[in-house]
Amino acid sequence: MLRPDEGWRAFRSVHLRHPGAHSTKRRRLHRHGLATDLAQRAAGSRLGLSPACQVSPRERLIIALDLASIEAAEQLVLRIGEAANFYKIGMELVYAGGLPLVERLVGEGKKVFLDLKLHDIPNTVERATAQIARLGASFLTVHAYPQTMKAAVAGAAGSHLKLLGVTALTSMNDKDLMEAGYASGVETTVVHRARQAKSRGVAGLILSPREVRMVRGVIGNRLILVTPGIRPKGVGAGDQKRVMTPAEAIAAGADHIVVGRPVTEAADPKAAAAAIIADVEQALAA
């Protein structure tokens, strides 16, 4: 078992210290990217995706590093290699000391989604967001309450950090919301928060894939829609209650899909990620 520093040293030795070994491959990928960019953008427009998120299929997959240790997360990133380049770091890993991992991943050319679901008094949210923006992450989640979103937008001002408002957790259904004291069910709550998010200046929303098409009909393509609750065909839903397959979510209008256990617990995480990206490509081409 490699120590954390050994794992990243090995990664850097291959990808940074000996760039010549990969230059031909990079040139081929670059030419392929130029050739397919227009087709991917056209597909994104056809599906109603956000113009800000008409990106490659590989970047549409966000792998959730919901793991107990930094070492486990680093090992997984090494195993996946270039098959994927967008990772979510949530509370479990952050509380295990994972914030420095954000900067390391960004330094290695990866994109990071910090899933912290901020919700506090406005002053605290604004200052916390300003500190988080220094890490170089691409996305940060905040709960989609008006004051919280407004404060986070102020804190992220001048940075490249995109804020995503959390509508209703994918582990919850109508009954769960009612038990928590909400006066309405999932769909009404999600639409209400989506409208508030659009007017508060956040870049996008976190929502179940089952609400994507409905929300697109309400807010159009101005917001980035990111969907957890993704399960490939044949994989159980686990503790998720509102799920779809990768292809179904993209076809519904999701810009990014977040996948955790189907990749992190797979015997071959790299192959699992590649299979999901292939599903995304098919959905975009359909």
Q: Where are the domains of the chain?
A: 4-285
163 close to 203: Cβ distance less than 8 angstroms: yes
Parallel/antiparallel/unpaired status of strands 224-227 and 204-206:
parallel
Burial 60-96 (b: 16+ CB within 10 A, else e): bbbbbbbbeebbebbbbbeebeebbbbbbbbebbeeb
The reported pLDDT for the residue numbered 47 is: 52
Give the pair of three-digit tokens for residue 22: 């990969």
The reported pLDDT for the residue numbered 89 is: 98
The reported pLDDT for the residue numbered 24 is: 46
Catalytic, 150? Answer: no
The reported pLDDT for the residue numbered 44 is: 52
pTM of the entire predicted model: 0.79
Mean pLDDT of 190-206: 93
Over residues 118-161, the pLDDT tens digits come to: 999 999 999 999 999 999 999 999 999 999 999 999 999 999 99
- Give residue 202's pLDDT band: very low, low, confident or very high (50, 70, 90): very high
Over residues 227-256, the pLDDT tens digits come to: 998 988 765 545 545 578 999 999 999 999
User: CATH 3.30.360.10: does it fit domain 4-285?
Assistant: no
Instruction: Tell me which of 88, 111, 117, 241 is the catalytic residue.
Output: 117
Closest CA to 276 of 51, 42, 63, 109: 63
The reported pLDDT for the residue numbered 112 is: 98
Mean pLDDT of 21-33: 43
| Distance separating alpha carbons of residues 69 and 10, to the nearest angstrom | 19
